[in-house]
Structure 1
Amino acid sequence: MITASSKAQVDVVYTDLVWSDEFETNGAINSTKWHHQTQLPNGGSWFNGEVQHYTNLISNSFVNEGFLTIKAIKEPYTNQGVTKQYTSARLNSKFAFLYGRVDIRAKIPTNQGTWPALWMLGKNVNEIGGFFNAEFGTTNWPACGEIDIMEHGITPSQPAGFIQSALHTPSSFGNTVNHGGTIASNLGNDFHVYSVNWSPFQITFLLDGVAFYTYNPAVKNASTWPFDAEQYLLLNIAMGGVAGNIPSSFTQASMEIDYVRVYQNLQVDTEAPTNFTATVGNVTSSTIELLLNATDNSGNVAYSINYGDQTINTANPSGVEKSVIVPNLMPTTTYNFSISASDVAGNQYSNNPLLLSATTTGVTGCSGTDTEAQQGSFSTGYNYIFETIGNDVKITFELLDTDKVGVVAFLWRQTPFTEYQMTNVSGSTYSYTITNQTIGATISYAVKFAYAGGLSVTKYLTYVVGDNCSLTVNAFELDKFSFQNPVTDFINIHTTVAIDKVEIYTLLGKLVLSSSTPTESIAVKNLAKGVYLLAVYQGDKKSIKKMIVK
């Protein structure tokens, strides 16, 4: 269901119908389009504790009056030497594709213990019984990538009508970490259109043409983005396992599907984009917004943004302004951007690149380093920044431990308790912005770092919205410690007491310079422009002040 409103919510619009099943012929499923996956995995049971047999019986999957029905039935059934008490169907499409849009109009069951799913797997998945396995099955799950367009019945903590979309990747160790959801009205009685829009840049999920979740990792590699190879479709109802207990009164449940449609762009495009504009939008101490727009006959425009040694690639529908937030920048620093526009076919705008320059603002916030944990432990610790931007507070944490893999970060609000998944902005640094805060109000947050084999939770840190502070521990006579600020090539420290050591840190707590030689003049010409923390030691006492390098 490609509408004008849904076009504005995705980055690439796909318009050419390349594969579909409208389910127009009554009886068995179309065997030229679908494969029944019935082979049990090794061990004799399906994954996730599921208790069904998938069959090729017409009682479990059939077409009638324009609809495909997949039916889960309570009945004893023996196959491959194993008897189970429930049957269902799991269909693989015999069509695989790279990038495009999938629309599936379906009515799903909501019975307790059922797990209806519309999803995708990499064509290269090594899974016995799958249609593509014999010829292409070279890659284990989740390295093949999994895109869950719609799942229901496995989120018991969510309200009625909640449907979930998710991505499974090596970076999440296959766990349901990258996911979003929304409420579907009158679920179980009404048909809804479940969609995924998959481009080289991001994956967006939609319900009835309205986008509700986009996956777009800052770093795209084989671990976070195994979505650069062909995938195929799966339709099924699983029983039990993570879907919970099946009531003894259960007899059967059905999923009805009106159509499955896949769109791509087939037009051979030789025309380059026109009317390309690029301007600077909102600027904070750590982000710069770039506003991009161009038109192209193909309906889509790709943008490449280069600054320093960094590149951001994105896309948007033709003629629709694209807002790109460049993250993780240093305060009071000028950044130069080189921005190019092309279409998806690679035709370049005639006057590429456009050049922009913007300077980030100063910081209003607090930062620090700690090792304390309220759950688990930290071998090295973590850095943190609370930064007020207008009426919002951007909270950034960096995990310093290097012995933890598959890390995902969640922000914890203390009162009332709420958990938010944070964005991995780079390396082991995670960020989340809480909006509409009151200047002067006190907030308290912690971060849970989940990783392979466990989790560690920081202590709760209290911050006054709008406060501008620095790390200060056992400060000695601050009036006896001063320096000219900003600094250029050298920092000259004026003090009436002896200095034992001087250290300079980034705002995230990374040590970039240390001097234990008694001196009041320290060379800083090799430091990049920006804001730092200057720590001066006298015995066991330390004082820290902010320092700007120009």
Structure 2
Amino acid sequence: MTSQSSNAQVDVIYNDLVWSDEFETNGAINSTKWHHQTQLPSGGSWFNGEVQHYTNLISNSFVNNGFLNIVAKKENYTNQGVTKQYTSARLNSKFAFLYGRVDIRAKIPTNLGTWPALWMLGKNVNESGGFFNSQFGTTGWPACGEIDIMEHGITQSQPAGYIQSAIHTPSSHGNTVNHGGTIASNLGNNFHVYSVNWSPFQITFLLDGVAFYTYNPAVKNANTWPFDAEQYLLLNIAMGGVAGNIPSNFTQAAMEIDYVRVYQNLDIDTEAPTNFTATVGTVTSSTVELLLNAEDNSDNVVYSINYDGQNIITANPSGEEKSVIVPNLMPTTTYEFSVSASDVAGNQYISNPILLSATTTGFTGCSGTDTEAQQGNFSIGYNYDFETIGTDVKITFELLDTDKVGVVAFLWRQNPFTEYQMTNVSGNVYTYTITGQTIGSTISYAVKFAYAGGLSVTRYFSYIVGEDCSLTVDSSYELDLFTFVNPATDYMYLKPNTTIDKVEIHNSLGKSVLVSSKPNDTINIQNLSKGMYLVTVYQGNRKSVKKMIVK
């Protein structure tokens, strides 16, 4: 057995082991800890086109030599009046919890057509046959919330060893945009520790102690964050459906699990944080970085940042510097920040708050929207942004297509050709910063979006480092279709030069924040935060892109 994975790269450290199964007794699973979910959903088949029966047979789930084995098999099996050609097991934990860390050390199958999964559902889900359903099942999926710690087999276009983690909520579910993935070495032959760190502020997924995806929506409500209630664990192997065709020579595949461990913090904390410091880091035209650090006996510190009528709350391990990027600010504007430190129990730093001031720079960069592809195709298109910061260029792209699943992005340098994996910001927004550039030099980059079933590559964009401009599509498609009152407050007063079909507004990260398919001369922007935006006006295959500042 191994100890708990590294705590690095999470916001709240959970120290106390509150529930586990080390699978030390051979034979049937521990029925005081696990429930076999075998009842078929209405219609006689499991979801996502899956073709298996889940059973409570010891041949599908058993403990041997310190490992839980979940085995998917090819065999005719009749239950509940339905005959299927494959069997497997789906286990529910009889333990549910609110916030904490889960570590699962497992070796998973990589056979074609298999879909091994380690995941969580809200205790309140009304799913027939689930352990908690009869007493607590009041809420449908996805309003109950789903946290997928590890999935394999449903992103066939990804490289070998790719595992995915995902979040399903009312705001995005099914082909959710909230997902991330990474490569596990020698997957299928090696054991790996699959982890999720779930705090009141964010959900972080880790492979062998290294974080690779964090879900942290800016607005947390029932639509985006049903994760303020207890969840339980599920372990299973599904067959077929979105996992693809099952080869005719398939006989069986097994997932071996060494342990399942859940950590929380049990001690009552009455001590406030100490040694709190807050300073200003990197400043751009639309962002200010705040560097925060404090110490607390609980190993965790919560930071609250108030500015311009808005609030950011985040957490970080004690004694580790936290970088917080405040987004969507206006260029050449001075902002005042009030920063406080507390711990998770609510004990406040004695000298709260610390006051900071920072002035954003003028914008130096190019942004826009496009649909052109040099490989594959785009059903909707993509946003792009090149911004010069000192001698660095931050490149941000957002895939707007909603029909792509399992997306990852790679930045392509045109000459000499080089490929860099981009960092996922949120949804399908990806960024990469190239450093040490010469002001006035020309760079040329494209982005490859890879996804389940294929890939699409944007055209190459040439950008002059340090230049302030509006990148656009071919000039034959670009006209000055409109003017408007700028800066704007509450309403955008549009003055079109011709009949227009659509108006779309994107924020500084390239994310679409407002679309009007039947625009008039006055567009309500009261829900937009202060900052810089891009306004795109369309007429047929023509468009205009202009910057707008919202005060």
- Structure 1 length as normaliser, TM-score? 0.78
2:426 corresponds to 1:441: no
2:467 corresponds to 1:468: yes
Contact 2:204/2:211 (<8 A) preserved: yes
- Structure 2 equivalent of residue 32 of structure 1: 32
- Which amino acid letter does the alignment assign opposite residue 271 of structure 1? E
- Structure 2 equivalent of residue 23 of structure 1: 23
The 3 A distance-change label for structure 1 pair 205 and 472 is closer
Residue 287 of structure 1 deviates from its aligned partner by 1.0
Partners of 1:267 and 1:430 lie apart in 2 by 39
- Structure 2 equivalent of residue 327 of structure 1: 327
2:89 corresponds to 1:108: no
Contact 1:385/1:397 (<8 A) preserved: no
Residues 13-60 of structure 1, C-alpha deviation per residue, up to 9 Å, x if partnerless? 001011111112222111111110000111111111111100011111
Residue 386 of structure 1 deviates from its aligned partner by 3.4
Contact 2:329/2:532 (<8 A) preserved: no
How do 1:279-298 and structure 2 match up within 5 A?
279-298=279-298
- Structure 2 equivalent of residue 264 of structure 1: 264
The 3 A distance-change label for structure 1 pair 375 and 316 is closer
The 3 A distance-change label for structure 1 pair 39 and 9 is same
How do 1:229-248 and structure 2 match up within 5 A?
229-248=229-248
2:424 corresponds to 1:393: no
- Which amino acid letter does the alignment assign opposite residue 19 of structure 1? W
2:131 corresponds to 1:131: yes
Secondary structure of 1:206's counterpart equals strand
Q: Which runs of 5+ in 1 are unaligned?
A: 451-456, 474-500, 517-527, 534-542
Secondary structure of 2:328's counterpart equals coil
The 3 A distance-change label for structure 1 pair 149 and 290 is same
Contact 1:303/1:340 (<8 A) preserved: yes
- Which amino acid letter does the alignment assign opposite residue 327 of structure 1? P
Residues 392-421 of structure 1, C-alpha deviation per residue, up to 9 Å, x if partnerless? 23447799xxxx999999989686899968
- Structure 1 equivalent of residue 214 of structure 2: 214
Residue 100 of structure 1 deviates from its aligned partner by 0.2
Residue 218 of structure 1 deviates from its aligned partner by 2.1
Contact 2:372/2:459 (<8 A) preserved: no
Secondary structure of 1:134's counterpart equals helix
- Which amino acid letter does the alignment assign opposite residue 319 of structure 1? G
Contact 1:27/1:64 (<8 A) preserved: yes
Contact 1:506/1:531 (<8 A) preserved: no
- Structure 2 equivalent of residue 183 of structure 1: 183
The 3 A distance-change label for structure 1 pair 118 and 31 is same
- Structure 1 equivalent of residue 486 of structure 2: 505
- Which amino acid letter does the alignment assign opposite residue 347 of structure 1? N
The 3 A distance-change label for structure 1 pair 2 and 354 is farther
The 3 A distance-change label for structure 1 pair 406 and 191 is closer
- Which amino acid letter does the alignment assign opposite residue 166 of structure 2? A
Residues 343-362 of structure 1, C-alpha deviation per residue, up to 9 Å, x if partnerless? 10011111111111111111
Contact 1:409/1:430 (<8 A) preserved: no
The 3 A distance-change label for structure 1 pair 78 and 191 is same
- Which amino acid letter does the alignment assign opposite residue 163 of structure 1? I
Secondary structure of 2:69's counterpart equals strand
Question: Which one has a bigger Cα radius of gyration?
Answer: 1
The 3 A distance-change label for structure 1 pair 177 and 358 is same
Residue 133 of structure 1 deviates from its aligned partner by 1.1
- Which amino acid letter does the alignment assign opposite residue 464 of structure 1? Y
Residue 267 of structure 1 deviates from its aligned partner by 0.3
Contact 1:286/1:331 (<8 A) preserved: yes
Secondary structure of 1:7's counterpart equals coil
The 3 A distance-change label for structure 1 pair 280 and 59 is same
The 3 A distance-change label for structure 1 pair 278 and 2 is farther
Residue 68 of structure 1 deviates from its aligned partner by 1.1
Partners of 1:209 and 1:200 lie apart in 2 by 20
Residue 265 of structure 1 deviates from its aligned partner by 0.2
Identity %: 72
- Which amino acid letter does the alignment assign opposite residue 229 of structure 1? A
The 3 A distance-change label for structure 1 pair 277 and 513 is farther
- Structure 1 equivalent of residue 60 of structure 2: 60
- Structure 2 length as normaliser, TM-score? 0.77
Contact 1:294/1:318 (<8 A) preserved: yes
Q: State the aligned residue count.
A: 484
- Structure 1 equivalent of residue 84 of structure 2: 84
- Structure 1 equivalent of residue 515 of structure 2: none
Contact 2:8/2:210 (<8 A) preserved: no
- Structure 2 equivalent of residue 142 of structure 1: 142
Secondary structure of 1:346's counterpart equals coil
Residues 343-383 of structure 1, C-alpha deviation per residue, up to 9 Å, x if partnerless? 100111111111111111111123568899985579xxx98
What is the RMSD of the two structures over their aligned residues, measured on CA atoms?
A: 4.0
- Which amino acid letter does the alignment assign opposite residue 335 of structure 1? Y
Secondary structure of 1:271's counterpart equals coil
- Structure 1 equivalent of residue 336 of structure 2: 336
